[in-house]
Amino acid sequence: MKTLDVRGLYEQLYNQMGPQRWWPAERWMETIVGSILIQNASAKTVDPVIERVGRETGFDPQILIGLSQEELEQLIFEAGLYRSKAKYLRASLEFFGQYDFDLAPLQALETAELRKRIRAVNGIGNETADVWLVYIFGRAQFIADSYSRRLMNFLGGPEKLTYEKVQKVVMNNSDFTPDEAREFHALIDEFGKLYLRNRDQFLTSWLRDANFNEHILNQF
């Protein structure tokens, strides 16, 4: 049985899978749009919609915020839950609009305060907030999504793990750079697509004989 700490898990994933390079989108507004449309949807469904938004608006926030609610709903209709997502997207646009779509005032904030402000936006939960922190603002935040929580469970953690608990344990036991934080999230999600549908699938992976060390497990 291989025992791992958080850094060891990162290195195992990186050495086996190589760099994923989920770097920020060319325009930060594309990340905003994508992070909202992907909620309760698959990439297969959402990717064509993101491309459509890009073609029709260039991800220009001024163009997007100038659309009526009906126009916004029609633009993202095929992403599913389009009425709710249009509301969340508008709320996000209004949030950034307070700063004239200039990220500098937000970038100057400490991570905890920035996250607090982002979480106050309608429709923005823990995962989406952390995606913004990692991929827009370059913060070394851990995104404790469903794949991450399932992996922690399969590596010896409890079956029912909250987002907050997993994030706290990982961040208290790691010192990732912003680039490594992006890479770690990408590696876990790509591993998850292959091996984290259920425990039987995980047991076919090269992490099947791995477990977190006692120091980590005692914190869950």
Annotate 101-143 with three-state secondary structure: CCCHHHHCCCHHHHHHHHHCCCCCCHHHHHHHHHHCCCCCCCC
pLDDT at residue 70 greater than cutoff 90? yes
The pLDDT of residue 1 = 76
Residues 6+ apart with CB under 8 A from 195: 201, 202, 204, 205, 207
pLDDT confidence band for 199 (50 / 70 / 90): very high
Distance CA(186)–CA(18), nearest Å, equals: 11
pLDDT at residue 23 greater than cutoff 80? no
pLDDT at residue 62 greater than cutoff 90? yes
pLDDT at residue 22 greater than cutoff 90? no
Half-sphere exposure of 132 (CA within 13 A, CB side): 24
- What would the CATH number be for the domain defined by 2-21+142-217? 1.10.1670
Q: What average pLDDT is seen over the chain?
A: 95
What are the residue boundaries of the structural domains of the chain, listed by start?
Answer: 2-21+142-217, 28-135
The pLDDT of residue 83 = 95
DSSP states along 175-202:
---HHHHHHHHHHHHHHHHHH-SSHHHH
Handedness of CA 79, 82, 84, 85 (dihedral sign): positive
Q: Whose structure tokens read 């793990």?
A: 161
Strand partners of residue 212: 4
The pLDDT of residue 42 = 86
pLDDT confidence band for 73 (50 / 70 / 90): very high
- What would the CATH number be for the domain defined by 28-135? 1.10.340.30
DSSP states along 2-59:
EEE-HHHHHHHHHHHH-----PPPSSHHHHHHHHHHTTTS-HHHHHHHHHHHHHHHTT
Q: Nearest to residue 63, comparing CAs of 81, 88, 89?
A: 89
Q: What is the pTM of this model?
A: 0.94
Q: What is the mean pLDDT of residues 32-46?
A: 92
Distances (CA, A) of 81 to 8, 22, 120, 154: 39, 26, 21, 32
Q: Are 37 and 88 in contact (CB under 8 A)?
A: no
| Longest alpha-carbon distance in the chain | 57
pLDDT confidence band for 140 (50 / 70 / 90): very high
Distance CA(164)–CA(115), nearest Å, equals: 13
Distance CA(27)–CA(60), nearest Å, equals: 9
